[in-house]
Structure 1
Amino acid sequence: MIDIHCHILPGVDDGPQMIMNSIVMAQAALDEGICTIIATPHHLNGKYTNTKLDIVKNVELLNQALLEESIPLTIIPGQETRINGDLVERLQQDEILPLNDSKYVFVEFPSNHVPHYTSQLFFDIQVAGYTPVVVHPERNSTLIQDPDKLYRLVKNGALTQVTASSLIGKFGKKIQKFSTEIVEANLTHFIASDAHNTTSRGFYLRDAYDYIKREFGNGLVFQFMENAESLLDGRAVVGDQPNRIKKKKLFGFLKR
């Protein structure tokens, strides 16, 4: 398996702080069946700054450490950038790092809102030749309350990535329900771990794929896995026509 979103680089953000912790995470990933990880440290989220050059350097160091420990896991450079109005310019200035230097760019929303300029920014990103990938939309309170915002972004060409632990209930039943609705409505294209450690924020990728297999069938599992490979290789990803998440009625009232 390929994990396209993981905080495994040591000492750069809220992931592991020491190289030995990264090694423990790497072994846990292997046990999970993961062979390749895209390291995606936070960037411009108000607390952490991890530029392209710094990430590439740290990925090289971690890969060397894994080689010395005889751990057959490959780390690929990526970045989780908080949405900002200068994102296109930062891409053009080579500060922002697309995943594996492909056309795919992770974009993180604040947890409690979606900026008003998002649609225009995503249009500009696509005009510049890149594809925005919204990370963990299932944990954004605005999207939970108004999933049509997510539908419109995907309809207009954005991709999304749902977190494995969200699907299996690690963030609570409400987020699990919304994650499942996102998958059912064809509003996501990738499942990834967003792992930060091996305790409170583990991988759970195998469990998430098992959940999807039970709920939606094996075909969708293969689709998500193939999309991860396509992203890594810079090829087009696939997905069925996105649908709106229907609001359910309860006692005559609309309810999310």
Structure 2
Amino acid sequence: MIDLHSHLLPNVDDGSKSLRASIRMAKAAVDNDVTVALMTPHHMNGHYVNHKPDVIRLTEEFQSHLDNNHIPLQVFPSQEVRINGDLLQALDNDDILFADESNRYLLLEFPDDDVPTYSTDMIFQIMQRGITVEIAHPERNTKIMSTPSILFDLIEAGALAQVTASSYVGTFGKKVEKFAEQILSHNLAHVFVSDAHDLPNRRYELAEAMVKVEKQLGKAYQQLLESNAEAILDGNDVTTLLPEPIVKRKFFSKF
């Protein structure tokens, strides 16, 4: 499998805190049937800045460590970019890494509890440049959870969404699990990712998520998620299904 979102690079963000931890996480990835992984350290999120040349260099160094330890994992440089007012300038300055070498797919992160009001306009401007935005972990964003039409509108406009495998299998609790299931059943997600960190409850659960989605939504859907990850990595078109809005139930009091 291909993992498009992970925090294995040591000492660059809230992921791995040491090379030893990174090696351990890489072994866990391989045990979870992952053969290729993008290194996506946080960039421009208010806490961490990981410039493009640094990520490329660190990823090459990490690949050497993997090879020396005979770990069959191929890694490529990328970033998890926080939406912010300087993002367009960073694109102009060539300081942004994509999921693919053709610079087509950009992993974009919102704050955990909000989708800034300027997001729709900025994403439109990004996509006007021929870039497709991949939204990171929408199932854990409290604003999207309370107003799922935000995600529907972005997907209808041409964005893609990643769902973290651990969310889908219940590691982040029942509420997040239920919303992840709704996102998938309403055709609002396009790939599973690990978003692995060296933290409790942030381990590799991609294989488990693939088993669950096959049971819930069928083998064809599971294969679509796998093939989409490969398509994104190669800069090719993904397969999308017609998105459906998630309608929240309304409860009315009787007086």
Normalised to the residue count of structure 2, the TM-score between the two structures is 0.96
> Is the CA contact (8 Å cut-off) linking 2:171 and 2:201 kept in structure 1?
no
Q: Do the aligned residues in 1 keep the contact of 2:3 with 2:34 (CA within 8 Å)?
A: yes
- Give the AA of the match of 1:53: P
> What does the per-residue CA deviation read over 1:50-85, in whole Å, with 9 as the maximum and x for residues that have no partner?
011110000000000011111111011110011012
Partner of 2:124: 123
| Identical-pair percentage | 41
Give distance in 1, aligned partners of 2:229 and 2:88: 24
CA distance in 2, matches of 1:84, 1:188: 23
Runs of 4+ residues deviating >6 angstroms: none
| Structure 1 residue aligned with 2:164 | 163
Structure 2 counterpart of 1:48, which letter?
Answer: Y
In 1: Cα distance, 2:118 partner to 2:233 partner: 28
Structure 1 equivalent of residue 233 of structure 2: 232
Mapped to 2, the partners of 1:86 and 1:27 lie a distance apart of: 36
Distance 1:131 1:89 in 2: 17
Deviation at 1:86, TM superposition (A): 2.4
Displacement after TM superposition at 1:199 (Å): 4.4
Mapped pair 1:80 → 2:76: no
Measured after TM superposition, the shift of residue 143 of structure 1 is 0.5
In 2, distance between residues paired with 1:109 and 1:234?
Answer: 23
State how far apart, in whole Å, the 1-side matches of 2:174 and 2:191 are. Answer: 20
In structure 2, what is the equivalent of residue 90 of structure 1? 90
Aligned pairs, how many? 252
TM-score (norm 1): 0.96
Alpha-carbon shift at residue 88 of structure 1 (Å)? 2.1
What is the aligned partner in structure 2 of residue 182 from structure 1? 183
Structure 2 unaligned blocks of 5 or more: none
Map Cα deviations across residues 81-115 of structure 1 (whole Å, 9 max, x no partner).
11012212211211111113331001100011110
Q: Amino acid of the residue matched to residue 19 of structure 1?
A: L
Question: 1:144 maps to which residue?
Answer: 145
Q: Secondary structure of 1:75's partner?
A: strand
Q: Check conservation: 1:186, 1:242, Cα contact below 8 A.
A: yes
Alignment of 1:1-256 (within 5 A): 1-101=1-101, 102-197=103-198, 199-250=200-251, 252=252
Mapped to 1, the partners of 2:123 and 2:112 lie a distance apart of 18
Distance 2:141 2:38 in 1: 23
Distance in 2 (CA, whole Å) between partners of 1:143 and 1:199 is 24
Q: CA RMSD of the aligned region, Å?
A: 1.2
Work out the CA distance in 2 between the residues paired with 1:153 and 1:88.
18
Residue 248 of structure 1 and its aligned partner are, at CA, apart by: 2.7
How far apart in 2 are the matches of 1:100 and 1:238?
Answer: 16
